[in-house]
Structure 1
Amino acid sequence: MRPHPIAVVTVAALLCVAVTSCAPEEGATAVEPPDGAPTDTATTEADEAESPSKEESDEPFPFGTPVGWAAEPLERDGEEHPGVVGGSAGETVTASDADELADHLAAEEPLTVRVEGRIDLEGEVEVGSDKTLVGVDGGAELTGGRLVVDGSDNVILSNLSMEAEGTAITVSGGAHHVWVDGSTFSGGGDSSLISVTGGADHVTLSWNHFRDSESAITIGDAEDEPGALRVTVHHNHFDGTSGRHPRARFAEHVHVFNNYYHSNPEYGVQSGRDSNVLVEGNYFERTRLSVSTEEERPGNVVTRNNLLVDSRQPDLRGDVPDPPYAYELDDTTNVPDVVVARAGIS
């Protein structure tokens, strides 16, 4: 993974703050909190840097640079798949209605599909391989359905606004190298707004705004098997959503970093059914339980350098390896300002 070109690496202390207590990991050093922060603090040292911006980048990423699992190569069935680039190898087209959109997204050749204004999807719209779908001039509003990435690879979905009665985006059927970035999601009913299941792999969900919903992100379900579901969740704003930010089951590796959790009445992150979840550099504010494990079939979860304000101490279990890719953390104390300023459609 290439670090974003505008990122500048510095060194800083990242805080882990809790109203009750936040026990330091082995080797951590207690320090004084910043002015106005709650007491009972502990920190570990970590690198601080400006995070990748979705606003500044050269082609093929006019809206940002992919970070995390979606940018990592993958070998599958004897074939090497590079990191996600979407439809950058093909032409750029425009869709003005649901039929045009569906035709473009189902095409065999690589395409960048630009959408402006509002389109009623009229149900499920399949997204084929080697596609970029990007909202322009203030984003695109997609209503009345969902985007389905089923078995496809090399897909970018960016700058979209989706208010869904159920799941807005499903990634399944062994789909891989999928990047959902800079979008706004609401609704969902009893379903998660984004669902990554069915052996999907190498997925990044970044700079999105989730609001007015019971459930944000589901990774894995009871039918999944270990060995896939490697997902990065970074710089998202979970704005009053209840739970599943994400909930992981049978996930090989889920990396959750630099997200802003605000007023979440159930929980932030949950690891279940042998998942491996690393949670770091996140800001939890009025989240009832920041991190948890599934009660009956828990997964592994490691936390570090998170900041908790009016949020309960996490439950931890097992060991989780670091991801293989390069990434840079924002100072946790700056996460609310950074994320609120950039997450969602622009």
Structure 2
Amino acid sequence: MRLHPILLRAPAALLCAALVACSQQQEADPEPSDPPVGADAEQSEADESSPPPEEESEVPVGWVTEVPADSGDEEDEPSRAPEDRAGTGGGATDPVTATDADELADHLETDGPVVVELDGGIDLDGDVQVPSDTTLLGAEEGTELTGGRLVLEGADNVVLNGLAFDTDGTAVAVRDGSRNVWVHRSTFTGGDDGALIEVADGADHVTVSWSRFQEASSALTVGDADDEPGALHVSVHHNHFDGTSGNHPRARNAAHVHVFNNYFRSNADHGVESAHDSNVLVEGNYFQDAEQSVRPAGEDPGNTVARDNLLVDTPQPEIRGEVPDPPYDYELDPATEVPDLIGDGAGVPG
């Protein structure tokens, strides 16, 4: 499945000069022959008579699509089937609108699935708890969240889509065994006090995709030194880490972190780090003017595998151990095309 249309074919010379594992590019398509006389008119008539194609809705890719194993306590398991709860949030529930923190809190206290569209600038005024089976959507006119963070504690099946955060600390905290979480097409700014997104404390099966991180010392952390092994399956793909210093992500005690097709630019500290026996696969990314690309931690290192990454004014990755491929289906975009894909597609649309 293709995540985004190809917008630009980069020169073959750039690929072969900087790609860690350089592969032969496909031959250019031959010049098309001239259409037969009258073809344009026939095609125009066909276009007028045919309805326009339906726009394909986005679907999650990555670990959020792989349903975690049941807890073993059937009484605590949701009544819906597992395949119906991975990365769907509030599903097809009719959306409601929140224009301030009080309205948002009221909507999130209702029973059952909920889809909330956040309209305009909202001061969260502290921590806002996000329950299971919830979708939070940014409005087409724009949504900016300030003054707090979204906290998922033991939540199952949450989608955060099209949200812009301007914060001095963490914007989204996924913890306490939360799972099936999809953060998509959002923009994160600030965050000098803590990572912009934190995934820890047994959280599992999380995907962070097509989002933009900027003006922060720490972008994304997965796991903590105290996390128990076995959880923290996280996918990080098609994000733009624009000038953020480090933690893209930093993984600790993570069972599997898959970092692919991200655009790293001007990162003063490091790109991806694996610690405390984490397993981190890094592939098809574009690193530009980064202090480090991929590395195991100096103390308590984890495993790192890097392949098909493009490095521009960036040191080579440091490899350690072995990391298995993920079990889900995904299609890797060529690293040469990542800057244009991400530049046009990552973050809040518009």
TM-score range, shorter chain: 0.7 to 0.9
Cα offsets for 1:121-159 (capped at 9, x unmatched): 011100000000000214311110000011101000010
SS in 2 for 1:264: coil
Matching residue within 91, 95, 104 for 2:94: 91
Partner of 2:56: 57
Deviations 1:302-324 (A, max 9, x none): 00000000000111100000000
> Would the aligned equivalents of 2:19 and 2:309 in 1 still touch at CA under 8 Å?
no
Q: SS where residue 74 of structure 1 aligns?
A: coil
1 CA distance for matches of 2:142 and 2:346?
A: 13
Question: Is 2:174 the partner of 1:174?
Answer: no
Q: Shift of residue 34 of structure 1?
A: 2.3
**In 1, are the aligned partners of 2:20 and 2:309 still within 8 Å (CA)?**
no
- Describe the SS at the equivalent of 2:257: strand
TM-score by length of 1: 0.85
Q: 1:224, 1:329 → 2: CA distance? A: 30
Question: Is 1:66 aligned to 2:72, yes or no?
Answer: no
Partners of 1:4 and 1:306 lie apart in 2 by 19
Q: Does the CA contact (< 8 Å) of 1:138 and 1:345 recur in 2?
A: no
Structure number with bigger Rg: 2
2:82 maps to 81
Conserved? CA contact 1:47–1:328, under 8 Å: no
- Provide Cα deviations, 1:5-62, integer angstroms capped at 9, x if missing partner: 9879xxx9xx9xxxxxxxxxxxxxxxxx8235684755355999xxxxxxx533xxxx
Alignment partners' CA distance in 2, 1:6 and 1:343: 11
- The structure where helix makes up a greater share of residues is 2
Query: Aligned in 2, Cα 1:86/1:46: closer, same or farther, shift over 3 Å?
Result: farther
The correspondence for 1:34, drawn from 5, 8, 12, is 12
Q: Distance in 2 between matches of 1:91 and 1:225?
A: 38
Paired AA for residue 126 in structure 1: Q
Q: Answer whether contact 1:91 1:110 (CA < 8 A) is retained.
A: no
Q: Distance in 1 between matches of 2:193 and 2:115?
A: 32
Percent identical pairs in the alignment equals 54
| 1:62-141 equivalences in 2 (<5 Å) | 64-78=58-72, 79=77, 81-82=82-83, 83-141=86-144
Checking the alignment, whether the CA contact within 8 Å between 1:90 and 1:109 is kept in structure 2 is no
Counterpart residue type for residue 230 of structure 2: G
Q: Does 1:145 align with 2:148?
A: yes
- With over 3 angstroms needed to count, the CA separation of the structure-2 counterparts of 1:37 and 1:152, relative to structure 1, is closer
- 1:150 touches 1:171 (CA, 8 Å); kept in 2? yes
Q: Residues 42 and 125 from structure 1, CA distance in 2 versus in 1: closer, same or farther, beyond 3 angstroms?
A: closer
In 2, Cα distance between the equivalents of 1:330 and 1:191?
Answer: 31
Q: Which residue of 2 aligns with 1:240?
A: 243
User: Matches of 1:5 and 1:251 in 2, distance apart?
Assistant: 25
Deviations 1:230-275 (A, max 9, x none): 0000000000000000000000000000000000011000000000
CA distance in 1, matches of 2:23, 2:256: 23
1:186-212: CA deviations, max 9, x gaps?
111131000000000000000010000
Please list every run of at least 4 consecutive aligned residues from structure 1 whose deviation after the TM superposition is greater than 6 angstroms: 5-8
| Aligned residues between the structures | 311
Residue 294 of structure 1 aligns with which residue?
Answer: 297
- Structure 1: gaps of 5 or more residues: 16-32, 49-55, 59-63
Amino acid at match of 2:89: G
Is the contact made by 1:134 and 1:159 (CA closer than 8 Å) also made in structure 2? Answer: yes
User: Letter of the aligned partner of 1:57 in structure 2?
Assistant: E
How far off its partner does 1:175 sit?
Answer: 0.1
Question: Among 316, 319, 325, which residue is 1:316 paired with?
Answer: 319
* TM-score normalised to structure 2 length: 0.84
* Distance in 1, Cα, partners of 2:231 & 2:182: 16
